[in-house]
Amino acid sequence: MEDPLSVATTARDDAIENIFLAAYTIEMVLKIIGLGFLFSKGAYLKDPWNLLDFVIVMSAYLTITQDIVTLYNNDGVKPIVTAETPTDGLSLNSLRAFRVLRPLRAITSVKGLQVLVVSIMNSIPLLQDTILVLLTFFIVFAIAGTQLLTGILKKRCVEINTG
Domain ranges in the chain?
Answer: 4-148
Mean pLDDT of the 41-62 span: 84
Q: Specify the pLDDT at position 89.
A: 56
**Cα-Cα-Cα-Cα dihedral sign, residues 71, 73, 79, 81:** negative
What pLDDT, in 10s, does the model give residues 73-129?
776 666 555 555 555 555 666 666 666 776 776 776 788 888 888 899 899 999 999
1 pLDDT above the threshold of 70: no
Q: Specify the pLDDT at position 122.
A: 93
Going by the DSSP 8-state scheme, the letter that residue 43 receives in this structure is: -
Which is more confident, 158 or 24?
A: 24
Q: Domain 4-148 carries which CATH code? A: 1.20.120
Mean pLDDT of the 134-161 span: 84
Alpha-carbon 45 to chain mean position: 21
- Share above pLDDT 90 across residues of the chain, in percent, rounded to a whole number: 17
- CA 24, 30, 33: angle at the middle one, nearest 5? 140
Q: Name the amino acid, one letter, at 46.
A: K
Q: Name the amino acid, one letter, at 136.
A: T
For residue 143, what pLDDT band results from cuts at 50, 70 and 90? very high
Q: How far apart are alpha carbons 163 and 158 in whole angstroms? A: 6
Q: Name the amino acid, one letter, at 95.
A: L
Picking from 121, 112, 119, 106, the residue whose alpha carbon sits closest to that of residue 56 is 106
